[in-house]
Chains A and B, each alone.
Chain A
Amino acid sequence: MFNVQGSKLSTLFILLICMAVLLVSGTASAKLTAKANHDHIKIDFFYHGNTVSVSGISDPGTDLVIKIASPESHEALKEKGKVGGLLWMNVGTMKFEHVSNLYSIHSTKKLDELLTPEEMAKYGIGYKAVEKQAVLDPVQNDEEKAKWFSEFIRFKEKSKLYASSIGNIETKEKDGEQSYYILTQWPYQAPPGDYLVTVYAVKDGKVVDQAESRVLVEQAGIVKTLAGMAKNKAALYGLISIVSALGAGFGVGLVFRKGGGAH
């Protein structure tokens, strides 16, 4: 008797917990969705970058932050410095660990107005958060790290791999839902790989929900064939390159034969 009552109670307790979890998650998210229109970009012979739009639905009144990034990796860049107080040249290599090759962040308002620094660091939102998790070598102190990280951002922005924008996300409210849309330029400098699009719903300085989508960038056709050959059949690739150049040189020479010989 006691046992039966005990098991009924525990079943009820589990049910209540399940309902509570459902309710909590329901109020916070249920509605946030994210979709990238080009989730499979093919790099073919005439590829010159692309546009990628991210759209979805969120709770009315929430602000949004959209992050597009490649997986974290490491990079080694040449560091320029003055030699003898006069001449600029490469003075060493600066290594950057835990940084993405491509990183772009778009938000409905200034990030500082939307999120606390702790929250940004937690989700890797914004250049400051990227800086916090990045490890630079060799740097002596935080000041040097900040200097070289800002150089890193300038270098990346120049090659279009890093970008940030405020207020470019369009939002519309209809039937108690908020739809959002942003069109971003996908740089041709971005190498093949798997890229993650994360949309964060933000309220009262905190991330209240997030949704993800992926963009796969792949080489196709002649670009894929040549890139593969250059790597895997290097000797044959080298010979073809040389023979083609010799052939072209002779070919043009023959075409110009009359012109060249006449003088």
Chain B
Amino acid sequence: MYLYLPVALTSINILIPVGLGLAVGLLSGLFGVGGGFLMTPLLIMFGIPATVAAATDSNQIVAASTSGTYAHWRVGNVDFKMGFHLLIGGFVGGLVGVQAIKILKAMGNADFVIKMTYVIMLGVVGSYMFIESLNAIRKSKNKGEAVKPAETKDNAFTRFLKSLPLQTRYEKSGVTHSMLLPIVFGGFVGILAALMGVGGGFLMVPVMVYILRMPMHVVVGTSLFQILFNCIEVTFLQAYTNHNVDFILAVLLLLGSTVGAQIGTVFGRKLKGEQLKIILAVIVLVVTVKIVFDLTLTPSLLLAQAGGH
């Protein structure tokens, strides 16, 4: 059955957005990512204008992350204090990132910087997570027990972190950090996310795992909480200033994604932290390879609608 989308000005078979929503919602519940880096290009592939695809995706992520945060909160996997501090950083970072895009556009090389940032960040994050979690899985097999990587390491970096002011205990995550740490790294992710036009979940998750040393399951729940607030803000701004949110498309997507997020949460609890990390790493690397192919192969059309990356 086809439905007409009033803002995208196109008609779509309802199975496509519902199916896409289900798949991306599943990833959301499993890994704590919004999935914008997958959903937006897929929607464009199915004929949705780039600007509408990005804006509407943030609207449906509000639903998927509400569903996911709720499911994770019920099993005690959301660190609200940490999420709040990350949000402060992310909000400021987003504002800085938007200004950076304006400067880059004025300099005339915005697209190049954005594409390169995307490929490098995805590639580095994906490779690091893949290698690290592969090592962790090997070690745990050898020892016959799960290991807590790096938590016991006392290197110069961790000593530096401990020396920072405003140290505070994050009870749910079981870690003590300076509250400046999540604010600064949240800000860093916020800048990159604004530059790349994505929510930044796939960057925030590694920051929480490797820098903030949070347990993977709490990372997923807290990341979703943080994404929820970011996407509420983005949806409102997109609807208010750009008129790009398609309500009907968002409803079709969220029909799938809210259910997917719940299923993902249930599955996620059956997997170990290392297993979750390595699957996410593989997905990030596959997306990286796809982007590299897109960049190097001659496109079928040399003209495209304005608005997308």
Q: Which residues of A contact B (CB under 8 A)?
A: 43-49, 76-81, 83, 86-91, 93-94, 148, 151-152, 154-155, 158-159, 188-189, 191, 219, 222-224, 226-227, 230-231, 234-235, 237-242, 244-246, 248-253, 256-257, 259-261, 263
A98 to B261, CA, bound (A): 48
Q: Which residues of B contact A (CB under 8 A)?
A: 1-4, 6-7, 9-11, 47, 59-60, 62-71, 74-75, 111-112, 115, 232, 235-236, 238-241, 243, 245-248, 250-251, 254-255, 258-259, 261-262, 265-266, 269-270, 294-299, 301-306, 308-309
Q: Could you give 13 example pairs across A and B, Cβ below 8 Å?
A: A46-B2, A46-B3, A46-B4, A87-B295, A87-B296, A88-B294, A90-B111, A226-B248, A231-B243, A235-B236, A238-B245, A252-B258, A252-B262
A224 to B248, CA, bound (A): 12
Asked whether, in the complex, the Cβ of A191 is within 8 Å of the Cβ of B74, the reply is no
Asked whether, in the complex, the Cβ of B111 is within 8 Å of the Cβ of A241, the reply is no
A226 to B247, CA, bound (A): 8
A19 to B38, CA, bound (A): 72
Given A88-B297, A89-B295, A234-B240, A249 and B67 touching (CB < 8 A)?
yes
Q: Which residues of chain A are near B240, meaning CB under 8 Å? A: 234-235, 238
Asked whether, in the complex, the Cβ of B115 is within 8 Å of the Cβ of A87, the reply is yes
A189 to B241, CA, bound (A): 24
Q: Which residues of chain A are near B251, meaning CB under 8 Å? A: 244, 248
Q: Which residues of chain A are near B258, meaning CB under 8 Å? A: 248-249, 251-253
Asked whether, in the complex, the Cβ of B303 is within 8 Å of the Cβ of A77, the reply is yes
Q: How far is the CB of B180 from chain A (nearest CB, A)?
A: 31
A75 to B239, CA, bound (A): 23
Our pick among B11, B247, B261, B304 for the contact of A80 (Cβ within 8 Å) is B304
A110 to B2, CA, bound (A): 36
Given contact pairs A234-B239, A253-B71, enumerate 12 new A-B contacts (beta carbons under 8 Å): A47-B11, A77-B306, A80-B303, A90-B304, A155-B304, A158-B301, A223-B6, A246-B63, A249-B64, A249-B68, A252-B63, A252-B261
A189 to B49, CA, bound (A): 11
A251 to B168, CA, bound (A): 35
Q: Which residues of chain B are near A152, meaning CB under 8 Å? A: 303
A37 to B295, CA, bound (A): 46
Secondary structure of the B contact surface, majority rule:
helix
Asked whether, in the complex, the Cβ of B74 is within 8 Å of the Cβ of A261, the reply is yes
A244 to B282, CA, bound (A): 33
Given A226-B7, A226-B248, A88 and B59 touching (CB < 8 A)?
no
Q: Which residues of chain A are near B254, meaning CB under 8 Å? A: 245, 248-249
Q: How far is the CB of A224 from chain B (nearest CB, A)?
A: 8
Asked whether, in the complex, the Cβ of A241 is within 8 Å of the Cβ of B64, the reply is no
Q: Which residues of chain B are near A222, meaning CB under 8 Å? A: 6
Q: Which residues of chain B are near A241, meaning CB under 8 Å? A: 59, 235, 239, 245, 247, 250
A124 to B11, CA, bound (A): 30
Among A49, A79, A260, the most chain B Cβ lie within 10 Å of the Cβ of A260
Q: How far is the CB of B65 from chain A (nearest CB, A)?
A: 7
Asked whether, in the complex, the Cβ of A94 is within 8 Å of the Cβ of B245, the reply is no
A230 to B269, CA, bound (A): 40
A252 to B65, CA, bound (A): 11
Among A154, A235, A244, the most chain B Cβ lie within 10 Å of the Cβ of A244
Q: Would you list the 5 A-B pairs with minimal beta carbon distance, nearest first?
A: A249-B66, A238-B239, A253-B70, A252-B258, A245-B62
Q: Which residues of chain A are near B67, meaning CB under 8 Å? A: 248-250, 252-253, 256
A253 to B264, CA, bound (A): 12
Asked whether, in the complex, the Cβ of A260 is within 8 Å of the Cβ of B294, the reply is no
A231 to B7, CA, bound (A): 9
Quick one: closest B residue to A86, CB to CB? Answer: B296
Q: Which residues of chain B are near A242, meaning CB under 8 Å? A: 59, 62, 232, 235-236
Q: How far is the CB of A100 from chain B (nearest CB, A)?
A: 16
Q: Which residues of chain B are near A80, meaning CB under 8 Å? A: 299, 301-304
Asked whether, in the complex, the Cβ of B304 is within 8 Å of the Cβ of A77, the reply is yes
Q: Which residues of chain A are near B309, meaning CB under 8 Å? A: 90
Asked whether, in the complex, the Cβ of A263 is within 8 Å of the Cβ of B75, the reply is yes
Given A77-B303, A189-B10, A257-B74, A239 and B4 touching (CB < 8 A)?
no
Q: How far is the CB of A158 from chain B (nearest CB, A)?
A: 6
Q: Which residues of chain A are near B1, meaning CB under 8 Å? A: 46
Asked whether, in the complex, the Cβ of A226 is within 8 Å of the Cβ of B6, the reply is yes
